[in-house]
Chain A
Amino acid sequence: PVTAGSIVVPLGHVIGNEKWRGSELAQRLQGKVRLIFEDGLGLVDFHLPNRTCILLISEADLVAGDGFKRRSVKFRNASSLRGIVIVEKTPISDQYYLGVQKLVVLELGMVLLPVANQGEASQLIIQLVSFCVREQSRERGSNPFVGRQRARPAEPAVLQALQRIPGVGRTKALLLLQRFGSIHRLCNADTRELEQAVGQTAAQQIYTF
């Protein structure tokens, strides 16, 4: 069973499943992050800060059959934590990769990251952990991929939109904006009002548009 949905991992720490003690992966992690081993983590191989769990699928798991699939599905059903599946994608296990990706990413909606060996896996985990640290220490929004909502002035956009109306260039767009102020009011204007702002022909064009 999955255990401990409530494990809280301090920043910069990783809690590893006892079965990884002494492995190449663990050795490479030590010194870079604070690694603590714990028994009975169940399905999860590593707990990272930020409510993230790592399931590791080795080359051998992939080749051996469907065990890892059951494991991912069980994890998904049992836990509300974010699951990252790290899979060893080697020349031997390559052929299974697409199937795994379809299951894990498309069907289960989890994250899947391929690595070539345990060494790369450790590098990746270190980056995942240190990313959390960086994000916490700086003010929020240091993630280059999280969009910051900037309030942009609407007027230039309105002006551009108006110029998409056939027969309206920059000058007429400015005139229209001055007189009506908003697209909403422009839409509800009748031909006479439009004629007062721009010429007769253009007014007719705008009205039909």
Chain B
Amino acid sequence: ISRVPGEHSPSLCILADTRQICSGPEVLSCLRAGHGLRVQVCSLGSSDYIVSNRLAVDRVLQSELQSPGNRNKLSQRLQRLQGISERICVIVETDRVRPGETSRCFQRTQHYDGVLSALVQAGIRILFSSCQEETAALLKELALLEHRKDAAIQVPTEPEGHGRDILNFYLSIPNLSYGAALNLCHSFGSITAVAN
């Protein structure tokens, strides 16, 4: 755990999915170094980030919303997430222009507007970001906001030994989020206590 001492409240914690190490390394390093948040990378599976006990965040690239090909994948993912998490936020990030590549003009498609409409109607919060740094800043804002609403993750996020096994047990319960499983670990002495 990287805990940067600073004026930020040290309890501010974000869980990140392991896949983000590859797809969003700058988001992670900005969160840690730039904003001084505690970032715990774990295999969340369901969402890219968990910002509070009730808010899950998915990071999608603008190009993914452009083409109808991705629609099914995205909708399945968000549907599953809705079963798990009370609130969902999608951060739409502008694709990075690789060096040597001329900046492609963003062509707004009908499909893109359609997806946005569907997201809005589904009550999913949408944020727009132009780069990974901005995404990190947005995640921090979300975490702060949830902290103010007393929904922040405030339990230890890295159980060891026996606690690890128990966490894995809770994680196998369908529709239980990683955050909820952590909370169960923390607030109950044993599985028997939860079952009763």
- A: residues with CB less than 8 A from B are 50, 84, 94, 97-98, 101-102, 105-106, 111-116, 120, 123-124, 126-128, 131-132, 135, 143-149, 152, 157, 160-161, 163-166, 183-184, 187-188, 209
Within 8 A of A (CB), among B152-189: 162, 165-166, 168-169, 171-174
Q: Judging by beta carbons under 8 Å apart, are B75 and A105 in contact?
A: no
Residues of B within 8 A of A128 (CB): 113, 117, 120
Partner of B117, one of A94, A131, A149: A131
- B: residues with CB less than 8 A from A are 71-72, 75, 78-80, 82-83, 106, 108, 110, 113-114, 116-122, 124-128, 130, 134, 137, 141-142, 145, 162, 165-166, 168-169, 171-174, 191-192, 195-196
Known contacts A105-B125, A114-B128, A183-B195; decide if A98 and B134 are in contact (CB<8 Å): yes
Least Cβ–Cβ distance between A207 and chain B, in angstroms: 10
**B192 (CB) vs chain A CBs: closest residue:** A187
A123 CA / B124 CA spacing, docked (Å): 21
A145 CA / B125 CA spacing, docked (Å): 12
Listed by A's residue number, 14 A-B pairs whose Cβ atoms lie within 8 Å are A102-B141, A111-B125, A111-B126, A120-B108, A123-B108, A126-B113, A131-B114, A143-B122, A145-B75, A148-B79, A152-B174, A161-B169, A183-B195, A188-B195
Least Cβ–Cβ distance between B17 and chain A, in angstroms: 20
The interface residues of chain B, by DSSP majority, are classed as helix
Partner of B113, one of A84, A123, A166, A209: A123
Residues of A within 8 A of B126 (CB): 105, 111-113
A109 CA / B122 CA spacing, docked (Å): 14
**A84 (CB) vs chain B CBs: closest residue:** B120
Q: Judging by beta carbons under 8 Å apart, are A127 and B108 in contact?
A: no
**A125 (CB) vs chain B CBs: closest residue:** B113
Residues of B within 8 A of A187 (CB): 191-192, 195-196
Residues of A within 8 A of B125 (CB): 105, 111
Least Cβ–Cβ distance between B74 and chain A, in angstroms: 8
Least Cβ–Cβ distance between B186 and chain A, in angstroms: 17
From A94, A114, A127, A160, residue with most partner B Cβ within 10 Å: A127
Known contacts A116-B108, A165-B169; decide if A97 and B128 are in contact (CB<8 Å): yes
Tally A-B pairs: CB < 8 A.
Answer: 109
From A111, A112, A123, A157, residue with most partner B Cβ within 10 Å: A111
Residues of B within 8 A of A97 (CB): 128
Q: Judging by beta carbons under 8 Å apart, are B173 and A166 in contact?
A: no
**A154 (CB) vs chain B CBs: closest residue:** B174
Residues of B within 8 A of A157 (CB): 172-174
Least Cβ–Cβ distance between B133 and chain A, in angstroms: 11
Q: Judging by beta carbons under 8 Å apart, are B195 and A146 in contact?
A: no
A160 CA / B168 CA spacing, docked (Å): 11
Query: Which 5 residue pairs of A and B lie closest in terms of their CB atoms, listed nearest first?
Result: A144-B75, A127-B113, A145-B122, A147-B82, A131-B117
**A111 (CB) vs chain B CBs: closest residue:** B120
A148 CA / B168 CA spacing, docked (Å): 26
Residues of A within 8 A of B78 (CB): 145, 147
Residues of B within 8 A of A126 (CB): 113
Residues of A within 8 A of B117 (CB): 124, 127-128, 131
A116 CA / B79 CA spacing, docked (Å): 30
Partner of B168, one of A111, A164, A183, A184: A164
Residues of B within 8 A of A147 (CB): 78-80, 82-83
A120 CA / B184 CA spacing, docked (Å): 47
